[in-house]
Amino acid sequence: MAFEIPKINYTGKIKEITIGAGNKTATVGGRDCYPFHLFEGTMPHPPIIAMEIWDMEPDNWPEAAIEPFKDVISDPPAWAKKCVEEYGAQIIVVQLKSTDPNDKDRPVDEAADMAKKIVDAVPVPVVFWGTAVSEKDEQVLKKIAEVCEGENLSLSPVEEAIHKSVGASALGYRHTVVASTPIDINLAKQLNILLGNLGVQDEHLLIDPTTGGLGYGIEYAYSVMERLFQAGLTQEDDKLQIPMINNLGNEIWKCKEAGLPKDELPTMGEPGRRAILMEAVGAVCYLLAGSDILIMRHPESIKLAQEMINDLMAEN
């Protein structure tokens, strides 16, 4: 008997979500099959790699991560521009590190001023990512929503504790909410429902399933993401048919092995290339697990991951 391609039946489809506004938009989702299973479905919008910048000069980045940005690293708007102009970033993610109450604790108004400058500097959509200290994130994200009214920014991480107030701001000032839950399919669904009850449409929603670093919990995120897309695509769970976003670069580059000098453990090789490959390997895992927006740091890892996307999407 001749071989027949073993296909499965899909009953759902990931929703198409457009972030950004005006002529600064990017669209993800729309996929009606498992990631890159193009023999039995379609992916109208391949995953997008977003580039991260910080809203302050990073004080703990390994040398290799600083190198490509060293001319702009103390100037967030210039840094964002460089990501777009030189590295072709389609989405910019601003990590709001300066607002961390346990560190610099930059006041809300100042943080929002900086946010506005960055948004105005680039011709692509912007995602703002807080420090996961929810009391502060709540204030900062609300203020950014207000000063950037109508930009359809993506505001993250919106945890259950702050979903009402940040969700309301996103509604009022027309932004997208990144619903963030700690590696749990039921909590992810519940938060999407709560945001829906508040009036946030699915079209303005992204899922942050929580991202683990390579060797630091990647397998938990990987499996919960596979379960999330299975629920959406084969179990008709329309509350989970939402694209996913993963804050990967931040997790990879803060882990010990990304910065370990060669003389401490020569068999692990040069720290720069090691960390770049750790980020690229992590990226492949998240792409296969259904990430739609993958936030990355180093231009070389991004290039490797982008080539993988292109190769997986290539015509046979």
Partner 1 sequence: MALTGIQIFKMLPKTNCKECGHPTCLAFAMALASGKAELASCPDVSDEAKEQLAEASAPPVRPMQIGAGDRSFKIGGETVLFRHEKTFLGSPGLGVLVSTDTDEGTLTEKLKVWDTFQFERVGFNLRPELVAIKDVNGDAGKFAALAKKVIDESNFCLVLMSEDVGVMKAGIDSCADRKPVIYAATKDNVDDMGALAKEKGLPLAIKADDMDGLMDLTGKLTGMGLKDLILDSNSRTVRRAFEDQIWLRREAIMKKNRALGFPTITFPCEMADNLDKETVIASMFIAKYAGIIILSDFIGESLFPLLVERLNIYTDPQRPMTVEQGIYEINGPDENSPVCITTNFALTYFIVSAEIDASRVPSWLLIMDTEGLSVMTAWAAGKFVGDAVGIFVNKSGIFDKVKHKKLIIPGYAAAISGDLEEEVKDSEILIGPRDASQITKFLKEFGV
45 close to 35: Cβ distance less than 8 angstroms: no
- In angstroms, what is the minimal distance from the CB of 86 to partner 1? 20
| Binding flag, residue 308, partner 1 (CB under 8 A) | yes
Interface characters, 74-103, with partner 1 (x: CB under 8 A) = ----------------------------x-
Q: Tell me: does residue 281 bind partner 1 (CB under 8 A).
A: yes
- Binding status of residue 2 toward partner 1 by CB under 8 A: yes
- Per CB under 8 A, does 186 bind partner 1? no
Q: Does residue 6 belong to the site contacting partner 1 (CB under 8 A)?
A: yes
What is the Cβ-side half-sphere exposure of residue 228, based on CA atoms within 13 angstroms?
36
Stretch that binds partner 1, among 62-70, 104-112, 152-160, 220-228 (CB under 8 A): 220-228
Residues contacting partner 1: total by CB under 8 A: 53
Question: Which of 278, 293, 294, 302 forms a contact with partner 1 (CB under 8 A)?
Answer: 278
234 lines the binding site for partner 1 (CB under 8 A):
no
9 binds partner 1 (CB under 8 A): no
Of the residues 64, 280, 294, 302, which one makes contact with partner 1 according to CB under 8 A: 280
Site string (37-76) toward partner 1, x via CB under 8 A: xxx-------------------------------------
- Selected binder of partner 1 within 219, 253, 290, 302 (CB under 8 A): 219
Q: Binder to partner 1 among 282, 292, 296, 299 (CB under 8 A)?
A: 282
| Sequence-distant (≥ 6) Cβ neighbours of residue 266 within 8 angstroms | none
For the chain, what is the HEC assignment?
Answer: CCCCCCCCCCCCCCCCEEEEECCEEEEEECCCCCCCCCCCCCCCECCEEEEEEECCCCCCCCHHHHHHHCCCCCCHHHHHHHHHHHHCCCCEEEECHHHCCCCCCCCHHHHHHHHHHHHHHCCCCEEEECCCCHHHHHHHHHHHHHHCCCCCCEEEEECHHHHHHHHHHHHHHCCEEEEECCCCHHHHHHHHHHHHHHCCCHHHEEEECCCCECCEEHHHHHHHHHHHHHHHHHCCCHHHCCCEEEEHHHHHHHCHHHHCCCCCCHHHCCHHHHHHHHHHHHHHHHHHCCEEEEEECCHHHHHHHHHHHHHHHCCC
Min separation Cβ 316 and partner 1, Å: 6
* Smaller CB separation from partner 1, 70 or 315: 315
Interface with partner 1 (CB under 8 A) = 2-3, 5-6, 8, 36-39, 102, 212, 214-219, 222-224, 226-227, 230, 255-257, 266-270, 273-274, 276-278, 280-285, 288, 300, 304-305, 307-308, 311-314, 316
